[in-house]
Structure 1
Amino acid sequence: MPGLSVRIIGKGNKQRLCPLWPTTVDQLMPLIAGRSQLDHVFLNRCGQPVTRFGIHTLVERSASRACTQAPSLESKRVSPHTIRHSSATALLRAGVDINTIRGWLGHVSLNTTNIYAEIDLETKARALATCAPSDGGKSRKHWREQPELMKFLRGL
């Protein structure tokens, strides 16, 4: 089922298409069986589309139930915004470029996305490790006594 996606209507009636994992499609298929492609996927108990307030309540209720398995959640505030921020951070950590994340979140400005994708300490440590000197920073010679470095500097 490659290429399946969902149309999301966000704030200000902004619409965008987001791809779905095959496992997500497998979970949604029984829910939408027999419905038109134009129908809403998630409906409330009255058969109406779930509102953002309904989603917020659902996330809070689910987080509350999850506390039995992850007690550390009890002291945390979990909301749809928290999940959105965590998703953006996970995408950034996985190496997804910031502009793709911007499009996924539906932001017009890259500056807005940068707020979500604030670099954490772990990411900074990994970046630092990629450019660490191979000798651990303990150069045996003074910089003036390194012919290759002097040649490079003279060439500038």
Structure 2
Amino acid sequence: MELERAVGTYLRHVALERGLSEHTVAAYRRDLDVYVEWLRARGIVDAEAVTPELVADFGAERASAEPPPAASSLARMQSSVRGLHRFLVREGRAETDPSGRLRPPKTPRRLPKALTIAQVDDLLDAAGPAPGSEDASAAQPASVRDRALLELLYATGARVSEIVQLDVDDVAQGDLLRVRGKGDKERVVPVGSYARAALDAYLTRVRPALAAKGRATPRLFLGVRGAPLSRQSTWLIIQAAAEGAGLTAHVSPHTLRHSFATHLLQGGADVRVVQELLGHASVATTQIYTHVSVDALRDVYATSHPRAR
């Protein structure tokens, strides 16, 4: 099977049948475009002509590139190549899998960085005044929206892609939020009173005016021209709030997700409950957050054990 056609078939499979997100599919496409171009430069245009030696050479060459690629990027590249060839064998479009000996690099296990509760408070206040505060009545529409956006990210631990895809109907169930996660899997997450108040202020005071500026859309969060708010715009909103709060560390939408999980576990939440709230397929993914709370464990030990000091 011709390589470019094989890649197209594989990407349609992961998008439609496996339900991977547009972001993930786009990353697979970039990786496989590099792979196909590398093979074409060596006269290989058909999937059946790819040998284990070629795949190994490709992996070695990518690993020794200058500047050196991040281990996570290299692992994803190799995963894309393995996924393609396994798919072709499984579908009967190739007889053998030449990527069987390709081994991904070991990626360093990095603990997620979380903000303190005080830093989260500062970040939210920098985005916009809290509903019911003295400054709330005079708040600019954008700041009302931004406060609701950040409150919801922190209250639910949702991914930024999940938040920008929310419709108004998804938040119409009082203190519950319906989230569509990876693989188009749905989960229900509670929404605390602070986020609910910020959402209500946005929905009553700001969203109707924003919606009138653009085409009709059910999306919850809108930009200044009435179009659905993008992931990139959300990043900029958070970065502006972080700068306004005087936070020197890098702050992203995922920082709020990390903070959500860490603060829950520090507060005594069961790791499996946090797994459900985050939408993790495996509890092993969630357990990395338990290591972030090692300082809290040390403090409890120091104050509780009779021979700790």
Q: TM-score range by the shorter chain?
A: 0.5 to 0.7
Q: Which has the higher helix share?
A: 2
Matched, 1:23 2:194: yes
Match of 1:65 in 2: 244
Q: Percentage identity across aligned positions?
A: 33
Matched, 1:103 2:279: no
Do 1:7 and 1:17's aligned partners in 2 also have CA atoms closer than 8 Å?
Answer: yes
Match of 1:13 in 2: 184
Do 1:89 and 1:118's aligned partners in 2 also have CA atoms closer than 8 Å?
Answer: no
| Equivalent position to 2:255, from 46, 60, 82 | 82
TM-score (norm 2): 0.36
Matched, 1:47 2:226: yes
Do 2:266 and 2:293's aligned partners in 1 also have CA atoms closer than 8 Å?
Answer: no
Counterparts of 2:182 and 2:233, CA distance in 1: 15
Do 2:221 and 2:228's aligned partners in 1 also have CA atoms closer than 8 Å?
Answer: yes
CA pair 15-61 structure 1, distance change in 2 beyond 3 A? farther
| Equivalent position to 2:287, from 102, 111, 114 | 114
Unaligned runs of 5+ in 1: 68-72, 138-156
RCO (CA 8 Å, sep 6+): is it higher in 1 or 2?
A: 2
Deviations 1:1-34 (A, max 9, x none): x952122233443332211122322221132239
Do 2:177 and 2:189's aligned partners in 1 also have CA atoms closer than 8 Å?
Answer: yes
> Alpha carbon RMSD of aligned pairs, Å?
2.8
CA pair 11-49 structure 1, distance change in 2 beyond 3 A? farther
Matched letter for residue 10 of structure 1: G
Question: For this pair of structures, how many residues does the alignment match?
Answer: 127
CA pair 92-59 structure 1, distance change in 2 beyond 3 A? same
Unaligned runs of 5+ in 2: 1-172, 209-216
Secondary structure, in 3 states, of the residue corresponding to 1:56?
helix
CA pair 115-104 structure 1, distance change in 2 beyond 3 A? same
Counterparts of 2:186 and 2:227, CA distance in 1: 19
Counterparts of 1:62 and 1:119, CA distance in 2: 24
CA pair 123-84 structure 1, distance change in 2 beyond 3 A? same
Counterparts of 2:265 and 2:299, CA distance in 1: 13
